[in-house]
Amino acid sequence: MVNQKTAKEDNMLTKEQVLKDYFTANLSRQLSIIGRKEVLTGKSKFGIFGDGKEIIQLAMARQFQNGDWRSGYYRDQTLMLATDMYSPEEFFSSLYGHTTLEHNPSHGGRSFNNHFGTRSIDENGEWKNLMVQKNSSADISPTAGQMPRLLGLAYASKVFKNEKGLHKFKNFTNKGNEVAFGTIGDASTSEGHFWETMNAAAVLQVPMAMSVYDDGYGISVPKEYQTAKGSISDALQGFEINKKGQKGILIYKGKGWDYPALLRLYKEGVERARKEHVPVLFHIDEVTQPQGHSTSGSHERYKSKERLEWEQAFDPIKKMREWILDDKLATAAELDKIEKEAVQKAKDAKKSAWKAFTQPMKEERDKLVKIIENRTCVCKRDHYDKAGEIADNLKRIVTPIRKDNFSAAKRILRHICTDCPKRKELKEQLGTWLKDNYKRVGPDYHSHLYSETKYAATSIQPVPIKYSEKEDTKPGREILRDNFEALFEHYPQLVTFGEDTGKIGDVNQGMEGMQEKFGEWRVSDTGIRETTILGQAIGLAMRGIRPIAEIQYFDYLLYALQTMSDDLATLLWRTRGGQKAPAIIRTRGHRLEGIWHSGSPLSMVINSIRGMLVCVPRDLTRAAGMYNTLLKSDEPALVIEPLNGYRLRERVPENIGEFTVPIGEPEVVHEGADVTVVTYGSCVRIAQEAARQLEDFNIGAEVIDVQTLIPFDKNQSILESIKKTNRVVFFDEDVPGGATAYMMQKVVEDQKAYFYLDSEPRTLSARAHRPAFSSDGDYFSNPNAENVFEIVYDLMHEAKPKEFPELY
């Protein structure tokens, strides 16, 4: 382990700085204490706080510079306060769930309390200067969920440092001098995300300062049940750098109550991370948690009397006070005054935040009640004033929330008598109240699932593909490769990485020659670690780099699905447009032999990553056009290339790197007037083959390639086809009830295509199980051209049995 100097040798801070820290520690503690009371008295549903971690975070904050990044969790309120990334008023606004960005800029009420985040982009989606502010990535609740993104935030500094062409992007970096700070509770280090991230960081040698707060428990479970050797630093000794030139991590150990020692510990460790670009682990032991894990329970249930007594004796703020008095930096009276000031500031912040939170909803309520009170009639039908009773009950609520107001308005509308002389007027007034208020507050809850700026993928101007008259053809992977080369030439911020992506140019050679031409920092190989490949992409994209992260096969995406779902897909929404990560996730799938290289779990994915675009090109030219579109946009996306299309020959576009495929716009690839077949990806060619077979029987199948599942047919072009054919089949190779059901809901329900159907809508999908090995496994488990032929023919037989008699 790295040796520490004693507290007596520490002279880094002036009295003024020490007392400022003491005030911040006490303020943070008071926020936790008052915050718990606010939950227990019903002003908030749940609370989780950072009490006991104050001193550690003060030491960390001393090393946190402009341009640095945090990827932590819900215990970090002291760090956020000490670095001026957060205010006491914001603490309470977050606890109450205030939905305005003015009062709750981290997330506008969309996350739990103590889920922190700074704003990286303005209301137009334009990047701020991230080098003149301290930065915190937006927190998520899943344990260790912050780890993959942390790797990417740190790796960005490595790329910025070594790729000289990026030094000009001074809003994002100072030549890679930035450190990414990570925090986690000791029990959460049991998660695979932690170990995968630490291993990747050790291999990549990134400037990461990782702090583990060790309070001995994971809620109620002691650490001997959590961690090998009962110590994360001992368990990680195999990762530790023991000699010069060795890749690995540095390990520092400290006590959570020892303020001067922690100052020196973090100064030395973070400086090494910044200067040497090496990951550093700070294992901070003997940490207390005075109020327990959260407001959901009491730690007295599982901690022994001796442990509780020890925690009182070694409370970090108490120990800091003792140290200040022992070193004669201040008198007891001075410290008493600071403590009283901290209490008052916390109380003032609570009062201010509560008023700001409740006042608008009281005003909403009062305007609603006034509509009813201005009546002069009583209901004749029910013989008592039901509407007035609902309004009176609402009026009695001391602090109404929006649910109370809107629910009351709707119930009042139901109880206006049909024979009421003021019925029309009341309905209009109440309807206007509801409409205006839904319009006003709706964005507080629903906005920014996708980009709302000019950079939205659906707003990118289309550039048609240009073909020469010669009709030259190439294998699809060469068209894709040439397109990537043009993109790397055009976008200096573009990087790509993944398993086998670098040296051999991916397993299908779509990146062939890219590393040799553009260098290892822009085109690189990774280990087999899908979650942190995705994490690299998220962190890089949050720092202004444009990553294409390759997941080798679609089946392997499931390793990273939790991070995609909880972090990347929700980022724009959970920050209400405050942060973005326009990462492109590239993979390949569909139609191959065997259980684990043939999967098509689209329904699992599309229903988990709302907030991302999902592109399913039928060939590699279409895939190239989608990459061209996405790199002009600011949205994260998943692109699933057709695995069996790399060697198939396609016409060569003349405008490689320039043409775009519109996002959300299906394409008719085979015209017909009898049945509409809606499909995507590798199934398109199967549907086209079936359509040609159907022509022999005078049946015209109109095959539509949806191209993107999210967004889905934004112009409702599939409806126009159904208006012509009056019949529809939804076809893919997902499980029954999967993406075919999704497409059917989008068309039949959303587009109201049921008005134009003469036959029931049909779905054709794969079997519920995966295919057995060999080509016959694929044939019998996944739908084929004969299956498409049969389901379409059956629809026509049902409509015109004489013209289309049974075939089998």
- Is 547 within 8 Å of 537 (Cβ atoms)? yes
Look at residues 196, 602, 665 and name the one whose alpha carbon lies nearest to residue 461: 665
Amino acid at 605: V
Radius of gyration over alpha carbons of the chain, in Å? 30
Q: Look up tokens 């775009």; give the residue.
A: 660
User: 637: which strand partners?
Assistant: 584, 613
Enzyme catalytic residues: 530, 597
C-alpha to C-alpha distance for 181 and 189, rounded to whole angstroms: 16
Identify the DSSP state of 21.
Answer: H
C-alpha to C-alpha distance for 170 and 147, rounded to whole angstroms: 26
Q: In what side-by-side order are the strands of the sheet with 69-71?
A: 135-136, 69-71, 180-185, 208-213, 280-285, 250-255
Look at residues 684, 678, 675, 685 and name the one whose alpha carbon lies nearest to residue 712: 678
User: 496: which strand partners?
Assistant: 523, 548
- Is 630 within 8 Å of 659 (Cβ atoms)? no
Give DSSP secondary structure letters for 560-606: GHHHIIIIITTHHHHTTSS-----EEEEEESS-SSSSSS---HHHHH
Hey, what long-range contacts does 687-695 have (CB within 8 A, 24 or more apart)? 687/731, 687/785, 687/788, 689/785, 690/785, 690/786, 690/788, 690/789, 690/792, 693/785, 693/789, 694/789, 694/792, 694/793
Identify the DSSP state of 229.
Answer: G
CA dist 493 → 165, 369, 483, 580, 631 (Å): 8, 56, 16, 16, 10
User: 614: which strand partners?
Assistant: 638, 710
What are the start-end ranges of the H helices in 374-385? none
C-alpha to C-alpha distance for 798 and 800, rounded to whole angstroms: 6
Look at residues 57, 49, 60, 51 and name the one whose alpha carbon lies nearest to residue 29: 51
CA atoms within 13 A on the CB side of 504: 9
Q: In what side-by-side order are the strands of the sheet with 762-764?
A: 667-670, 701-705, 675-679, 728-731, 762-764
The residues near 666 (Cβ < 8 Å, ≥ 6 apart) are 678, 704, 705, 706, 707, 713, 717, 718
The residues near 549 (Cβ < 8 Å, ≥ 6 apart) are 496, 497, 498, 533, 534, 536, 537, 583, 584, 585, 586
C-alpha to C-alpha distance for 275 and 205, rounded to whole angstroms: 12
Look at residues 253, 186, 192 and name the one whose alpha carbon lies nearest to residue 221: 186
The tokens for 418 are 């049909």
Q: Residue 777 class from Cβ within 10 Å (0-12 exposed, 13-18 middle, 19+ buried)?
A: middle
C-alpha to C-alpha distance for 60 and 21, rounded to whole angstroms: 12
What is the crossing angle of helices 88-96 and 332-373, to 10°? 40
Give DSSP secondary structure letters for 77-141: HHHHHHTTS--HHHHHHHHHT---TTT-TTTTTSS-TT------B-TTSPBP-TTSS-EEPPP--
- Is 493 within 8 Å of 545 (Cβ atoms)? yes
C-alpha to C-alpha distance for 633 and 73, rounded to whole angstroms: 30
The residues near 57 (Cβ < 8 Å, ≥ 6 apart) are 50, 76, 78, 79, 82
Rounded to the nearest 5 percent, the helix, strand and coil shares of the chain are 45, 10, 40
